A and B are shown apart, each in its own frame.
Chain A
Amino acid sequence: MTTPSAIQWFKTREGIYYMLLALLLVVILPLTLDPFRLSMTGKYLTYAFVAIGLVMCWGKAGILSLGQGIFFGLGGYCMAMFLKLEASTPEATAIQSTPGIPDFMDWNQLTELPWFWQPFHSFPFTLLAIIGVPVLLALIIGFTMFTRRVGGVYFSIMTQAVAAILTILIIGQQGYTGGVNGITDLRTLMGWDIRTDEAKMTLYFICVALLFGCLFIARMVQNRKLGRILMAMNAQETRVRFSGYDVAAFKIFVFCLAAAFAGIGGAMFTLIVGFMSPSFVGIVASIEMVIFCALGGRLSILGAVYGALLVNAAKSGLSESFPELWPFAMGALFIGVVMAFPNGLAGLYQSYIQPLEDRLFKGKQAEISSQSSAPISQPSKAEESDGYDSSMDNYSAEKS
């Protein structure tokens, strides 16, 4: 990153936006928040991984997955299984009738570790599984759906059904998954106690680092030809197909990418919060993740991070003091975002604050920003209505 072009990039408007986010997450929040609140912020950031994936998948490519909780949960459960096995040494579980297996298995009269738990003794395998398992499932869902040209609301309903199935399965198979309580009482990661304040601090910074990794991958995809094909597919799928592109392959790719991000987020969630339960997998959790992305701006990967932070901060703030008000606020948020500002905070920023900025920094800044690629590519009004129009066309074609 020491090439002149990289330094130049930090002076562009996009570079400044990324630096501001880094400043907020790395300097301002750790200095101003106590360890408990910082750990909460870390938890919110794990949702930002999902939101970034949704921006790529829904905002750019027009595939609304209502099952991101599946991938978040799978990533989280993979991590939780590893941690649980580490916490269930024969010495620590000596009072059980079968020492050496997780406590909930013992309560459910299991006498040996099920086969699919065995590989999670190994940390490298766990790391692989955190990304691999969600991506594999996304690949299967994506391959069967997209090659048959299923899209639009059908895809949303199907992903939602898969989320429902997975939740019922996890809750029903108590002996294998910990049931409705999930996998709790996680203590150490490779002998490192994850419950101390220092550990929480470290985990927060790991989370921020991984988040920036995902942001850069998403940015890379968005700024290449790949990203432009995704946007084109959203607007005019048939035209892209007739231009010779394999639309299904691009959709599968972006869906798997979103799943991988969500898996990483889920694993970090388990580490930071210290447990994993089916309530983060289900329909309600999955659809809530969409609002993080929608509030931030469905086309803006940076907006998604702010959206996740804001919604979750508001959620814990409101539900601490007025628990009965939160669902109203959430409902109003869903309706408001869709009806009043479909491009979210990023869209508002672009239409109201950015012109101000332009006027303030006219001259030098204008020259720089002209050579940078726009951080948030927002279609003009005409293009936008065109996009919706054609997606409706595609949809009605698929329906019949």
Chain B
Amino acid sequence: MFDGYTTSELMSIFAMQGFAGLSLFSVFVLMALGLAIIFGQMGVINMAHGEFMILGAYTTYLTSGFFQAYMPSLFGGYFFIAMIMAFLICAAFGAFIEWAMIRRLYRRPLDTLLATWGLSLILQQAYRSIFGPREVGVELPEWMMGAIQVTDMVELPINGLFVMIIALLIALGLYLLMYRSGWGKKVRAVVQNRPMAEAVGINSGAVDRMTFALGCGIAGIAGSAFTMIGSTGPSSGQAYIVDTFLVVVFGGAQSLIGTIVSAFAISQAQSTMEFFLSGSMAKVLTLLVVVGILMLRPEGLMALKIRR
């Protein structure tokens, strides 16, 4: 498949596709981190995760419209406000869903999967009724447009870089929160031994709700970032959900580092192959390899070493 390319051309192709893969990687990381928290820490499958992401995207869309109409002078900075709004709205909605639905189903993980799928259908149709079936996009502020020219064949778009930086910042923040804060310690205590954690005075119900809300909030930020590199439609979330689940499972469900590594591997593989094969075959091959590896090594790349 490399026939007819010179070495330097190949190098630029890999660099360009590698960078294209990096924006896919950023979306994967942002979505998968939220999912990894909910799935890895609580064992809950949230099939509506993609719809939470789209909620964040629509929030960004509305905020950008608001800024355009009322505060055009501040338009350059709207994205930061939008991101905070997306986080807060999604987290609040997530906390509500946890209270109304998920907490009644903790003992039945398979049923949670079906119930959240129902939620995702409802949300999708709600988006369709409110925002219309067509995809919407936001207008990028001036400073985010354009690209940095690295060599004459390789150029890096600024919005992609920006999204990537956000993804890495969120990942770092999440790591600090989970492994370096008192609250993270509580979450991990509840995951490892719920009755014991309750016995030492941790309110496990409140921890669950906060964890779920945090996961949904991160999905909101993911959606917000997503608007920077693509347009949003009512069912865009569903397009990513299976990939994201595979990213989380492939990385090893309870490992944040594993999630990031697997997001990197999957997005790079897919994006590099896309140049040489058709897009659909690249995706098929990537998913097949991931599924194949998971069949041989079900615990994922980075598994916690715990005696069964």
Contacts and interface: CB of A to CB of B under 8 A. Distances in A.
B253 interface: yes
Contacts of A331: 118-123, 125
Contacts of B113: 64, 66, 153, 156
Contacts of A152: 109-110
A395 B306 CA distance: 14
A372 interface: no
A164 B280 CA distance: 11
B287 interface: yes
Interface in A331-353: 331-339, 342
Nearest to B120: A331
A246 to B, nearest CB: 18
A154 B253 CA distance: 10
B242 A283 contact: yes
Interface in B264-308: 278-281, 283-284, 287-288, 290-291, 294-296, 298, 303-304, 306, 308
A117 interface: no
A165 B292 CA distance: 12
Contacts of A328: 121-122, 125-126
Contact of A334 (B110, B115, B294, B296): B115
B296 to A, nearest CB: 7
B304 A330 contact: no
Contacts of A357: none
B110 A64 contact: yes
B118 A397 contact: no
Given A160-B242, A395-B43, A399-B253, A334 B298 contact: no
A294 interface: yes
Contacts of B111: 338, 342
B8 interface: no
A172 B107 contact: no
A392 B115 contact: no
Interface in A16-63: 58, 62
A385 B106 CA distance: 12
If over half of B's interface residues share one DSSP class (helix, strand or loop), that class is named, otherwise mixed; here it is: helix
A248 interface: no
Contacts of A157: 45, 242, 245-246, 249
Contacts, number: 144
Given A324-B125, A331-B120, A397-B308, A172 B278 contact: yes
Contact of A333 (B106, B118, B283): B118
A168 B284 contact: yes
Chain A, interface size: which category? 35 or more
Contacts of A324: 125, 128-129
A299 interface: no
A340 to B, nearest CB: 10
Nearest to B118: A334
A169 B122 contact: no
A231 to B, nearest CB: 16
A158 B109 CA distance: 15
Contacts of B296: 144
Contacts of B162: none
Interface of A: 58, 62, 64, 66, 141, 144-145, 148-150, 152-154, 156-158, 160-162, 164-165, 168-169, 171-172, 283-284, 287, 290-291, 294, 324, 327-328, 330-339, 342, 385, 388-389, 391-392, 395-400
30 contacts: A148-B295, A153-B43, A153-B45, A154-B298, A157-B245, A158-B295, A161-B245, A161-B246, A162-B291, A165-B284, A165-B291, A168-B284, A327-B124, A327-B125, A327-B128, A328-B121, A331-B118, A331-B121, A331-B122, A334-B118, A335-B119, A337-B114, A338-B108, A338-B111, A338-B118, A339-B105, A392-B109, A395-B43, A395-B109, A400-B303
- List of 10 A-B pairs having minimum Cβ-Cβ separation, nearest first: A334-B118, A172-B280, A331-B122, A331-B121, A327-B125, A144-B295, A335-B118, A331-B118, A400-B306, A338-B115
